Structure 1
Amino acid sequence: MLLCRHILLLAATVKQFIDFIPLILFFIVYKLEPRAVELAGNTYMLGGIFSATAMLIVSSVVVYGIFFLLQRKLEKSQWLTLIACLVFGSLTLAFHSETFLKWKAPVVSWLFALGFAGSHFIGEQPLIQRIMGHAMSLPQPIWTRLNIAWIAFFLVSGAANLFVAFTFQSIWVDFKVFGSLGMTLLFLIGQGLFLARHIHDVEPDPSATKSKD
């Protein structure tokens, strides 16, 4: 039983990192030397922020489209990420200004923080318990502390992205990819170490499987 829970947690972590695929493709295209390429009789510029933004939009639609086909649905967090990518990416291309894209990561992070914070007042369980409650049984105070940790993580992540984007403009794309990935990895490792002290091989609380959409 304990092994199964660890496998479920590992699967959830892997799925979380799959969400970074569009961001990695964005970074690769951004770093290319600008060049003209022909496709289907049309000429497109490849390389730089605007072609990278187009790649971010297309790859996000493809990745979350695959998720939708496999799961028959998208989680609320995936919908939020996809919609934010479409909105901020489209504004960046329409107005030819990278300022819109710089706001994407902070806004999404703070909306996630708001969702985790709101779950303390709306619904029967903290949001992290609704997400992970099917995989493990934890005392209620531990779920609360874990949920607060996610709130803090998203607040800090959003603030860090905003600060770097408008203060260190020459490296903001590098930070957007590797900074965000690094912070997420460190946080997940810390969460894993924290949970390792509290996971017990007992049957999950039936109420933990209840979630509200």
Structure 2
Amino acid sequence: MKFLFDLFPVILFFITFKIYGIYAATAVAIGATFAQIGWVWFRHGKVDTMLWVSLVLIVVFGSATLILQDETFIKWKPSVLYWLFAAALLIAQAIFKKNFIRTMMKEQLTLPEPVWARVNASWAAFFAFMGAANLYVAFNYSTETWVNFKLFGFMGLMLVFVVLQGLMLSKYMATDEDKEA
């Protein structure tokens, strides 16, 4: 359910684009992200940093799109967000010796430190790739194709990556038999 909630602004962007076009969709995405943050704040009393970053980016790039009536800005937003994620993962690991992926997944997985480092690096590389893929589609295909890719392409790529990551990590996952022993 959280996955769908996280996609709330993207889904509304997609639907609005199909009916009213890029500028209305951009305005709806800005409003939906504010609503999303409001809901999270109301329910949990705090908002994750990633959601705040997403809000800042949608407001900055979305506002530029609306004010200048130039869809180029909104097309850059996903790339910048993905590249910030990649940079955060790499900088946290290299400078602060903090592995955000391990922090998020340590309850589900116990891995040797070198494996955690590879997992972190693979997520950073994946986010860097997603940013580049977004720009490739945004500036080599129609806006319609880009909007479809933004929803379905990103979800498909994420699913493939997560499955491949799961397969890679499966040898480290304890089975019920291991837990009983």
TM-score > 0.5, shorter chain as reference: yes
Identify the structure with the greater strand proportion. 1
Identify the structure with the greater helix proportion. 2
TM-score by length of 1: 0.76
The alignment status of 1:97 with 2:70, answered yes or no, reads: yes
Question: Could you tell me which amino acid in structure 2 is paired with residue 30 of structure 1?
Answer: F
Once the 2 structures are TM-superposed, how far is the Cα of residue 17 of structure 1 from its aligned partner? Answer: 4.3
Structure 2 CA distance for aligned equivalents of residues 56 and 191 of structure 1: 30
Structure 1 CA distance for aligned equivalents of residues 128 and 47 of structure 2: 24
Correspondence for 2:54 among 81, 87, 90: 81
Write the mapping of 1:136-147 to structure 2, written as runs, cut at 5 A. Answer: 136-147=109-120
Once the 2 structures are TM-superposed, how far is the Cα of residue 85 of structure 1 from its aligned partner? Answer: 1.1
- Cα shift readout 1:77-127 (whole Å, capped 9, x = no counterpart): 111112111111111111111111011011111111100111222323322
Listed as ranges, the gaps of 5+ residues in structure 2 are none
Listed as ranges, the gaps of 5+ residues in structure 1 are 1-13, 33-46, 204-213
* Larger of the two Rg values belongs to structure: 1
The alignment status of 1:192 with 2:177, answered yes or no, reads: no
Helix, strand or coil at the partner of 1:120: helix
Structure 2 CA distance for aligned equivalents of residues 125 and 174 of structure 1: 35
TM-aligned CA distance change 1:199 to 1:71, over 3 Å:
farther
Greater CA deviation, 153-162 or 125-134? 125-134
Q: Root-mean-square deviation (CA), in Å? A: 1.9
Correspondence for 1:26 among 7, 10, 13: 13
Once the 2 structures are TM-superposed, how far is the Cα of residue 191 of structure 1 from its aligned partner? Answer: 2.3
The alignment status of 1:168 with 2:155, answered yes or no, reads: no
Structure 2 CA distance for aligned equivalents of residues 29 and 155 of structure 1: 28
TM-aligned CA distance change 1:106 to 1:48, over 3 Å:
same
Structure 1 CA distance for aligned equivalents of residues 3 and 118 of structure 2: 21
